[in-house]
Amino acid sequence: MDIFRNIIALMVVGVGFVGWSVFLPQIKLLLKEKEARSISLGLVWGSFAMQVIVFTHTILQKDWHLTFALGTSLICLVLVLALIYYYRKYPGGR
């Protein structure tokens, strides 16, 4: 069982290193189209809230592998949120 836990822990760390890549298509699309009206803010804010709750739990549980993975995901999600609000305020950019 310990071997299984160690393998999963290493996989979680791997997610921390490459998990941010799932955000790249959305970030590239926002930067290319310079428009964010079609993106649901409820979905993005809901995802953010859930990740913050789980992130806080991982800190309290001292699960540093998962904390790292969620931290990188949250950084990218904050970037997506910032781009959404920017392009909603300034469609087409400034």
The model's pLDDT over 67-90, given as tens digits with 9 standing for 90+, comes to 999 999 999 999 999 999 999 999
DSSP-H helix ranges across the chain: 2-18, 24-33, 41-60, 64-89
Q: How many beta carbons lie within 10 A of that of residue 78, not counting itself?
A: 11
- The domains of the chain, with CATH numbers, are 2-89 (1.20.1280)
pTM beyond 0.75, yes or no = yes
Find out whether 93 and 34 touch, Cβ atoms under 8 Å: yes
Give the pLDDT of the chain (94 residues) as one tens digit per residue. 899 989 998 999 999 899 889 999 999 999 999 999 989 999 999 999 999 999 999 999 999 999 999 999 999 999 999 999 999 999 998 8
